[in-house]
Each structure stands twice: as structure tokens, then as C-alpha cells.
Amino acid sequence: MGWLAAAAAAAHARLAAAPVERLTRAIPRTGERIPAVGMGTWLTFDVGPEPVALGQRRAVLQAFFAGGGALIDTSPMYGRAEEVVGDLLGEPGRAAPVFSATKVWTSGRLLGERQLVRSMGYWRLRRFDLVQVHNMLDWTTHLPWLRDWQAQGKIRYRGITTSHGRLHEALEAAMRREPFDFVQFTYSLADRSVEQRLLPLAADRGVAVIANRPFDGGDLFSRVRGKALPAWAAEAGCANWPQFFLKFVVSHPAVTCAIPATTRPEHMAENAAAALGTQPDAQQRRRMAGWFDAI
């Protein structure tokens, strides 16, 4: 049995023994549902062919699929991440479904198409589930040919991304102009600026939202180092800090999926568990944000 098949079997056995509700969200354009916790690969999967490094990433993927994950997000910007993900997913015995998401990160149609063909080779795919224009780079050039590829069945969804808030005004204008299937931007307890305009706009326009940097690059854990989880957090379904941070993000009604990244399988298992059980309601979310702002 291959490692992904083993991971799927382990997940099935665990869920059969103790059934729990797992949070999925509908993609507004189609109604297709995907798990609310996905996986990012920035920095974490940019490794060489060393067996130890690959073994660690294989274990992360095992934990991801065993926890019911599906959406994996990569980019040509992330060094060897696409190659590493593709090599590991290409190993024999894959049984877990994958929602493949990558990006175009270059200027001009010719270079963009070449880049995406190369990405398909790395992932060993003939069709991507989602292709996004990374950090809005030359997006007005890329969007028409991505629409053509979508019509040809080479990609299923089109999207656009930014991070850190640098391009929020430009992104808002683009979202009002074009019918994107997905949009990706930063959202965490430390950076809630998208709550004002971008999240409501995405909901109004029927655009799926991928939240990147949900741990603020790991800085959220530094903020709470040495602090105990508030006793009331259990009411929102939070048993640890990763759940506290991720449940805040994925419980927003406009968020479709969050993509935390890690190099440690035990952390991946904690992340995946944020999609399980009770999710914070609006009042609990306000309490979580207020508590975080006060520390």
C-alpha cells in the first residue's frame, strides 16, 4: 500500500471510530465543496532531493490527507515547491483527492503559458483545479488566456492573489471589474484589514476566498508564547493555539479555505483539526479578536 493510500485508510478508520463534523465550504461559482483547511507550500516545500528533507515533507502530506485536507497551494515563486509536491504526489498508491492550486508569476502571455505548462509537468497533471495570477503581476494580460484555458478544460477555476495588504486597493478594483472564481489574500487575527472591504466584496460578488498567512508567518505563536489558552476558547471549539488562530479565520462566512504552511507533520495534524467540531459564532469571533488585541 502506498503512503497516500495508507493515510486515507488511517483517516477513514479514525473517523469511523469517532465521527465528527468536518468544515467544508462551497465554491460560490459552482457549489463544489472543499475542506476549509488547506495547505500552503511557501518556504516549507522548497527543498532539495535529500531523502531526509523529502521524508519530512512526505510526512506532512500524510498528516494533511489523513486530516481530510485537499487544497494544496504552490507557485513558481516558491523555488522547488511545485517539483517537490509533484514528486511526492506522484508516488505509487495515491488515494486521497487533491485540489491542485498554483499560480502564474511572470509577465506576458507567452511566458505565462510556458510557465503554466512547466507547472503542469511538475505536478504531473493535464488540468489544474485552480490557477491564480500571483500578486496581480500583469493580471490584465493573463486573465484572457486563462479564460481560454478554462474554456478548453485545462483549468477549472481562475483567481488572483496578493499578500500583506500592499495591493488591496488595486485588488478591490480588479474584483469589481472581473468575475474571478477565487481571490487570495492575507487574513489572520493580526491582520484583519480585509474584513472592511475585501471579504464583504468577495461575498457580494460570489468569489471564493483563500486566506494566506493565517498564522502571520508564525508571529501569532510568538505573541502567545507562555500564555494559557483562555478557558472560554473551548466554547468555540478550540483546544490549542493553532485551532484558536485557524478557527477564527475559517469561521468567517466569506472565507472558503485557509492555507497554513508547516514542515512538521504534528503541526499539520493540529492545523487539519481546526476544521473539526464546533466553529466560533459571530459573538465568539468578536471575543477572540478583542482578547488578541489586548495581549
pLDDT of the chain, 295 residues: tens digit per residue? 454 545 445 544 444 344 568 999 999 999 999 999 999 999 999 999 999 999 999 999 999 999 999 999 999 999 999 999 999 999 877 667 899 999 999 999 999 999 999 999 999 999 999 999 999 999 999 999 999 999 999 999 999 999 878 899 999 999 999 999 999 999 999 999 999 999 999 999 999 999 999 999 999 999 999 999 999 999 999 999 999 999 999 999 999 999 999 999 999 999 999 999 999 999 999 999 999 999 9
Report the CATH number of the 35-294 domain: 3.20.20.100
The SS3 of residue 102 is strand
Strand locations in the chain (E): 24-26, 33-35, 39-40, 71-73, 99-104, 128-133, 155-161, 182-186, 208-212, 257-258
Mention every residue, 6+ apart, whose C-beta is less than 8 A from residue 292: 189, 190, 223
Query: What is the reported pLDDT for 6?
Result: 53
Does pTM top 0.75 for this prediction? yes
**Dihedral of the alpha carbons of 279, 284, 289, 295, in degrees to the nearest 10:** -110
Angle at 151 between CA 202 and CA 127, to 5 degrees: 85
Contact predicate 38/290, CB 8 Å: no
The alpha-carbon radius of gyration of the chain (Å, integer) is 18
Helix axes 109-123, 139-151, angle to 10 degrees: 50
Contact predicate 175/206, CB 8 Å: no
Contact predicate 131/155, CB 8 Å: yes
DSSP type of residue 49: S
Surface-to-core class of residue 48, CB atoms within 10 Å of its CB (0-12 exposed, 13-18 middle, 19+ buried): exposed
How far is the C-alpha of 265 from the C-alpha of 48, rounded, in Å? 18
Cell of 115: 510557465
